[in-house]
Amino acid sequence: MNYPKEQHRVLQKFNTVNAATNRIRHMLKALYNPARSRFTAALVIVLLGVTSVSQIANARPAPESFADLAEKLLPSVVNISTSQMVAERQGPDFQFPPGSPFEDLFKDFMDRNGQGGQGQSQTPQQRRATALGSGFIISADGYIVTNNHVIDGADEITVRLHDGDTLPAKLIGRDPKTDVALLKVEPEEDLPFVNWGDSDHSRIGDWAMAIGNPFGLGGTVTAGIISARNRDINQGPYDDFIQTDASINRGNSGGPLFNLDGDVIGINSAIYSPSGGSVGIGFAIPSAIAQSVVDQLKEYGRTRRGWLGVHIQTVTDDIADSVGLDKSTGAMVAGVSDDGPAKAAGIKQGDVILSFDGKEVESMRRLPRIVAETKIGKDVDVVIWRDGEKKTVQVELGELEEDVVATSAEPGEEQAPVAIAEAEIKPLGMKIANVDDELRRRYNLAEGTEGVIVTEVNRDSYAAEKGVRPGDIIIEASHSSVSSVEEVSDAVKKAMDDDKRTILMLIETSAGPRYFGLTLNKED
């Protein structure tokens, strides 16, 4: 018998439910035992029913079409165009070296074509450059969210609505660290807008829909799934991107990523592409981060983030072993700001922060985001690992100054050897020496620098693999301060005698103090 498409689909669902009901009936017959009470049998029925209903309620089947959702959401997505004056390059893109036989010939050619330098102004010419991106409306009165990189450096920002109307936009605020910007237009009537969703409740495999302005084509809808979460793509200190295979291309930046409820769960910001086009790997800033940033930009015109005042590093397996942790978790404190909240609370160099304000710190990169999102001035419980046990300290959180810039380590260059008193620490694959005037000059150390300096590192050693370089200063070994070669040697010998696999060292590098869990080569 032939059925219309809709009737056929309903009949299929009915048959599925009927089959499930029959299976439950057979299960109950198998479980039935006259010796059991009727109450127990009824309880089994109720529990089975609850489980079945829960599974059906949580299941989100693939939509037959995104048309209704797209029709509803398209009017809230806008195209953003920007323009700015940039210096135009003068003269040719290449030059012949002075004295070349081609130099005069090329100069005559440029002069004949009006591109020579004789008699022309040396003032750089300027031209107006334009760029395109996407955005979405979050309020009827005209607040619009986009990416910071879409409007960065713009002199003029213009928003084109879905109906074709164009409006000048004012920049309310921007946050380069999360790549979020907030604009404002002044519409004559209320605009259609969208609501924020909760990206933390989105799961890998959920459907997602992107709308944007790829290649300047205007409102374009693509769909896919959430491919991954918590992606770190080295774009900033708070990276926590949603990865999706919904097609995202140039011009989609700043556009929304929706869930099936039509709520914004992300801001499309970047793609991975060797060719420059979509290869199914796009990244969106999750709404859990973006919404709080937008709220602050709207209220203050800038972001206000919590500040702890510590320099942190990853807890590697070797460091975890050195400090007695069962696994590599948390964030290790490599340095403490003298005027920061951490110092006032008693947090010390060498502590491992395991949780902050009741939130577990699974990895080093998790801590900056937790701290940044915590209310300034709040008294926060911080669980640390110190001397082989957990301790809790309370910190009154400060406010991060946005002009604070973190530095990264750059490998030091090895210097030509000179005659100095060195000691070879064979288990670590390095040579060390007490700092003297000659070493201060060689490594450009500050006047008065004292301690133990690394003068040579075996290329095949664990120390070289971890990033220890000549010129680094050893500050601590096994949690004890060291100021001489003998003290470092004694600490290494004691670790070997205690059958330790690694030794923990605090070393001053070009990027600041850092802890190293150095493996001891016992064959030496």
Q: Just list the catalytic residues.
A: 149, 179, 253
Residues 330 and 361: beta-carbon distance below 8 Å = yes
Instruction: Name the residue type at position 62.
Output: A
Cα separation, 411 vs 470, whole angstroms: 9
- Helix or strand run (H / E) with residue 142: none
Measured distance between the N- and C-terminal CA atoms of the chain, rounded to whole angstroms: 84
Q: Dihedral sign for Cα 517, 518, 523, 524, please.
A: negative
429: exposed, middle or buried (Cβ count in 10 Å: 0-12, 13-18, 19+): buried
CB 271 within 8 A of CB 278: yes
**SS3 call for 517:** strand
In DSSP notation, 95-115 reads: -PPTT-TTHHHHHHHHHHTT-
CB-count burial class (<10 Å; 0-12, 13-18, 19+) for 52: middle
Residues 386-404 as b/e (b if ≥16 CB within 10 A, e otherwise) read: beeeeeebebebbebeeee
Give me the sign of the Cα torsion angle 363, 368, 373, 378. positive
Helices (H), ranges, 159-310: 287-300
- Distance CA(73)–CA(91), nearest Å, equals 48
